[in-house]
């Protein structure tokens, strides 16, 4: 359930008609709902209510400070993968003890920064990273709490570019090596083992891969405890999928996912961490866009809109589907026709979807691309020198611009021309 609905034939974000946002902010623009973000976050809290837990929002999915502030104020922790995301989480008021640091390529500078600023745990992804972290922590005279990210060699059954739990993927330490790596970790200065971490992929629509992975995690917990390690936290990763189409079978709910976790590791007495991103932010956002032209092609008609692949790259990058709907609801029974919905960028790949059934639209009419709150704005660029797409947050009948559209002057002002040219 989200909070983007037709009211009297006009698409609203909560109580705000999208026409109002388009008129005041212009298009293209991302629009997020505080009510949906809040609801989705709370569903995860409820799913883990049976135990001590921390829901760490995956900042990569939507890193706007206002979004982080909202979730942080509800009690969310943050899963971060860079110094930039750490700085954002802190700027949004999230304390270090609620931030976990994931990623295969953490640098010494990043380690230093988070050790000085406060961090709940490093999810260590390789032996060289472990050695470097030990050196950095020792040089600062502090102890780095760690979980080792273990690669369980499980097929997450998702798009190959976002599956992370197979042995051929770059992530984590092979599970067969885990006991050796933990032994090494325990022997290193500046390192304290606190738990185990896994993350097998994104947009999972089946719980079975989780079951397989978490069963391996339970076995590993017992083995590591037998080896003398104090495993007290289990980070189960993120990845629970969302419905991108209104009409298909919905993926499992957070409550069902929470039950899978409970069945697998509930008897171990560990604190549970999870790292959902898309499931919280994805359906909490839409990309609002205006029609520029209707163009008749040979055998097909194009709807040329003012959003493009630089604003929402998922269709071009993963052949991903986003429902595209008119902001003025089509009257039941009115004629619809197929349109290829495309942006202005100079690539054929700049196609949101082919043959979308839409009512007759004219230049200036608004459309919304749904399910765009995750991996939308965060993956936007200024390709074709198009200004970075702005973002708006709605709450009830009010809205605020939470990232303004840069002016052309601001964009030009970021480059410098060397004086010797
Ligand atoms: C380590 C880690 N945690 C959490 C996530 C969040 O994934 P999702 O947005 O699919 O929940 C990701 C991305 O797949 C990730 O790499
Ligand atoms: N960017 C991807 C998800 C990546 C998940 C990163 N861990 C997407 O849009 O589906």
Determine how many CB atoms are found less than 10 A away from the CB of residue 336.
Answer: 12
d(CA 77, CA 68): 9
Q: Determine if ligand 2 sits within 6 Å of the CB of residue 375.
A: yes
> Any binding-site annotation on 238?
no
Looking at residue 62, what is its pLDDT? 98
* Average pLDDT of the chain to the nearest whole number: 96
In this prediction, residues 46-74 reach a mean pLDDT of 98
d(CA 274, CA 234): 8
Q: Is the pLDDT score of 65 beyond 90?
A: yes
- Pure H helices in 266-313: 278-281
Q: Is the pLDDT score of 397 beyond 70?
A: yes
Looking at residue 250, what is its pLDDT? 87
Give the CATH number of domain 4-31+282-413; options: 3.40.50.970, 1.20.1600.10, 2.40.37.10, 2.40.10.120.
2.40.37.10
> Any binding-site annotation on 314?
yes
Among 116, 113, 118, which Cα is nearest to 93's? 118
User: Where along the chain do its domains lie?
Assistant: 4-31+282-413, 103-274
Least distant ligand from the CA of 242 = 1
Least distant ligand from the CA of 282 = 1
pLDDT tens, 281-314? 999 999 999 999 999 989 999 999 999 999 999 9
Q: Determine if ligand 2 sits within 6 Å of the CB of residue 214.
A: no
Q: How far is the CA of 358 from the centre of ligand 1 (A)?
A: 33
Q: How far is the CA of 409 from the centre of ligand 1 (A)?
A: 36
Per-residue confidence band for 2, with pLDDT thresholds at 50, 70 and 90? confident
Domain 103-274 falls in which CATH fold?
TIM Barrel (3.20.20)
Looking at residue 248, what is its pLDDT? 63
Q: Is the pTM above the cut of 0.90?
A: yes
Q: Determine if ligand 2 sits within 6 Å of the CB of residue 171.
A: no
d(CA 121, CA 54): 12
> Is the distance from CB of 308 to CB of 343 less than 8 angstroms?
yes
Question: Best substitution site from 161, 238, 311 to test ligand 2's pocket, by max atoms within 8 Å of Cβ?
Answer: 161
Q: Determine if ligand 2 sits within 6 Å of the CB of residue 151.
A: no
d(CA 289, CA 326): 10
> Any binding-site annotation on 257?
no
> Any binding-site annotation on 84?
no
Catalytic positions: 346
Looking at residue 165, what is its pLDDT? 84
> Is the distance from CB of 303 to CB of 340 less than 8 angstroms?
yes
Looking at residue 81, what is its pLDDT? 98
Q: Determine if ligand 2 sits within 6 Å of the CB of residue 371.
A: no
pLDDT tens, 79-113? 999 999 999 999 999 999 999 999 999 999 999 99
Q: What would you report as the CA-atom Rg of the chain, rounded to the nearest whole angstrom? A: 23
Closest residue (by CA) to atom 7 of ligand 1? 239
Q: Determine if ligand 2 sits within 6 Å of the CB of residue 203.
A: yes
Among 243, 234, 218, which Cα is nearest to 274's? 234
- Distance in Å from the first CA to the final CA of the chain: 56
Least distant ligand from the CA of 210 = 1
Closest residue (by CA) to atom 12 of ligand 1? 238
Q: How far is the CA of 202 from the centre of ligand 1 (A)?
A: 6
Among 40, 17, 106, 120, which Cα is nearest to 78's? 120
């Amino acid at each position: 359930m989200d909070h983007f609905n037709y009211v009297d034939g006009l698409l609203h974000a909560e109580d705000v008609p999208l026409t109002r946002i388009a008129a005041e902010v212009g298009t293209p623009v991302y629009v997020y709902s505080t009510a949906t973000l809040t609801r989705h976050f709370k569903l995860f809290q409820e799913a883990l209510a049976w135990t001590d837990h921390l829901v760490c929002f995956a900042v990569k999915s939507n890193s706007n400070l206002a979004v982080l502030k909202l979730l942080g104020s509800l009690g969310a922790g943050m899963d971060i993968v860079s110094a930039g995301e750490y700085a954002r989480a802190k700027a949004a008021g999230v304390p270090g003890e609620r931030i976990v640091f994931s990623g295969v390529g953490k640098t010494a500078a990043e380690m230093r920064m988070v050790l000085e600023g406060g961090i709940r745990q490093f999810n260590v992804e390789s032996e060289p990273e472990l050695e470097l972290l030990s050196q950095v922590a020792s040089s600062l005279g502090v102890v780095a709490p760690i979980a080792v990210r273990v690669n369980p060699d499980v097929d997450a059954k998702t798009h190959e570019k976002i599956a992370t739990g197979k042995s051929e993927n770059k992530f984590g330490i092979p599970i067969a090596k885990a006991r050796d790596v933990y032994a090494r970790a325990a022997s290193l200065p500046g390192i304290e083992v606190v738990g185990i971490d896994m993350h097998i992929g994104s947009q999972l629509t089946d719980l079975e891969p989780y079951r397989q992975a978490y069963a391996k995690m339970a076995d590993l917990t017992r083995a590591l405890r037998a080896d003398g390690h104090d495993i007290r936290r289990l980070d189960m990763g993120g990845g629970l999928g969302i419905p991108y189409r209104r009409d298909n079978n919905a993926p499992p709910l957070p409550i069902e996912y929470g039950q899978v976790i409970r069945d697998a590791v509930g008897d171990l007495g560990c604190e549970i961490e999870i790292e959902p991103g898309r499931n919280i932010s994805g359906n909490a956002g839409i990309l609002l866009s205006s029609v520029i032209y209707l163009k008749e092609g040979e055998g097909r008609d194009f709807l040329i809109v003012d959003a493009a692949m630089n604003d929402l790259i998922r269709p071009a990058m993963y052949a991903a589907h986003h429902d595209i709907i008119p902001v003025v609801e089509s009257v039941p029974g009115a004629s619809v026709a197929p349109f290829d919905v495309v942006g202005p960028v100079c690539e054929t790949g700049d196609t949101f979807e082919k043959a979308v059934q839409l009512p007759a639209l004219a230049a200036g009419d608004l459309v919304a691309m749904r399910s765009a709150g995750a991996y939308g704005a965060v993956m936007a660029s200024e390709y074709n020198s198009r200004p970075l797409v702005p973002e708006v947050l709605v709450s009830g009948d009010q809205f605020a611009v939470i990232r303004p559209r840069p002016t052309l002057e601001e964009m030009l002002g970021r480059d410098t021309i060397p004086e010797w040219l």
